[in-house]
Amino acid sequence: MTSSLNDTELSTENTFTEESTATITQSNVIVSLGSGYDLPVYGLDNGQFYFIHIPAMICIALSFFSAVTILIASFKMQNYRTFFCWTKSERFVVYLAICDGLFNIAHTVDHAHIAITKNHVYPRELCEFYGFMLAEFITAQNLMVNVVAINAFILIFFRKSFKFGKYDWKLLLWTFGAPFLGAMAAAFAGQLGPNGTFCYFDGVKGKITNICFTTIPLLVILVMNTALYFITWQRIRVEGKRLKNVLGNSAKSIRASHQAARTMSLFVIAFIAQWWAMALYGTWQLIDENVPLALFQFVTTFSNVGGILNGVVYIIIRRRKLRAIKDTEEGNVTDVQTLQSKSNRQN
């Protein structure tokens, strides 16, 4: 009789284990993990809950304010009807501000929902929507800054510049269209959901998708952008020394290319500052799932300050443009005064 009961219990346990999609063991008790909703809300068990969500929401709020300010200032300074005649850097600032703004809206509501309820986001469809927004705009930013880095490299080494097509359709189709298709595929496959901290790729069902969609592409783009930045900057430095005392139209054209590349490189620096922590976190997870809490805190901070970093880039671009206008005006005044002086001497 006892042997029969033990056989029955063993059979039931084996069936239970086989049917579960993932399991965790705590105090010899097997808990089934069917989706991210079966994960504990991160931080509740170690007192770190508010230390995760409150700093994140503060960074997101500041980032959103910066993104909105950039958009208002950009279209106040210049006519929106001539938008596609603006410099590439000025258009990049606007596109990235839009990415930051929409990302911030979805992510702050996501964090606030979890912080208030101390639970995962319900209903599931709402969490999937938040995850879709993050997947779309995080990837869009990554691809756009990668295009900027490649464009700066080509400009310096080949004296050519990407043609983005009428109304930048090629750029927008790549940076927004490709992530949209990927995020839609993930949504229909049930890969989006809670990961224990916020809504993105499901912490149980979407682990592989997260690695393929975020970790590996982000790491590749980060390394690529960093390499292109240093190679481009080194070439600018060498050519700058060579052309220091050289005059003529050719030297002037090269200096203009240098200035454009330096401006575009600002986006690469901001990108590295924003995403280094997430790239390191994802790489660490591939090796060991026990990621240090400090690194996790860096992720929730740095990944949410994109709007602030983009705002710094915008200020630098505006100052450089105003300085260039001022130098041009001073040069024109000097030329007029020189001509007047020559005319007076002739008279």
Listing DSSP states for 53-113 in one string gives: HHHHHHHHHHHHHHHHHHHHHHHHHS-GGGGGGS-HHHHHHHHHHHHHHHHHHHHHHHHHH
Residue 340 within any structural domain of the chain: no
CA torsion 267→110→112→138, rounded to 10°?
A: -10
Closest listed residue to residue 277, CA positions, set 295, 290, 294, 264: 295
Residue 116 within any structural domain of the chain: yes
pLDDT score at 239 = 80
pLDDT score at 293 = 85
Residue 334 within any structural domain of the chain: no
- 279, 223: one domain: yes
Quote the tokens at residue 206: 């979407």
- 22, 50: one domain: no
The alpha carbon dihedral of 49, 52, 53, 54 has a sign of: positive
Quote the tokens at residue 145: 């800054």
- 14, 118: one domain: no
Q: How far apart are CA 167 and CA 149, in angstroms?
A: 20
CATH classification of the domain holding 59: 1.20.1070.10
CA distances from 177 to 105, 161, 319 (A): 20, 22, 33
pLDDT score at 145 = 95
Ordered per-residue pLDDT tens for the chain, 347 residues: 444 444 444 444 444 344 344 444 444 445 578 899 999 999 998 888 999 999 999 999 999 999 999 999 999 989 989 999 998 999 999 999 999 999 999 999 999 999 999 999 999 999 999 999 999 999 999 999 999 999 999 988 888 888 899 999 999 999 999 999 999 999 999 999 999 999 999 999 999 999 999 999 999 999 999 999 999 999 888 887 777 666 666 777 777 888 888 888 999 999 999 999 999 999 998 888 888 888 988 998 999 999 999 999 999 999 988 887 776 766 555 544 554 555 455 54
The DSSP output letter for 202 is -
Residue 257 within any structural domain of the chain: yes
Closest listed residue to residue 141, CA positions, set 190, 195, 69, 214: 214
pLDDT score at 20 = 42
- 12, 95: one domain: no
Quote the tokens at residue 228: 């292109």
Residue 39 within any structural domain of the chain: no
Residue 336 within any structural domain of the chain: no
- 27, 139: one domain: no
Closest listed residue to residue 89, CA positions, set 279, 270, 304: 270
DSSP one-letter string for 208-249: HHHIIIIIHHHHHHHHHHHHHHHHHHHHHHHHHHHTTT--SH
The alpha carbon dihedral of 191, 109, 304, 115 has a sign of: negative
Domain that holds residue 16: 1-32
Residue 274 within any structural domain of the chain: yes
- 272, 304: one domain: yes
The CB-based long-range contact list for 22-25 (8 Å cut-off, 24+ gap) reads 22/204
Residues paired with residue 203 on neighbouring β-strands, in sequence order: none
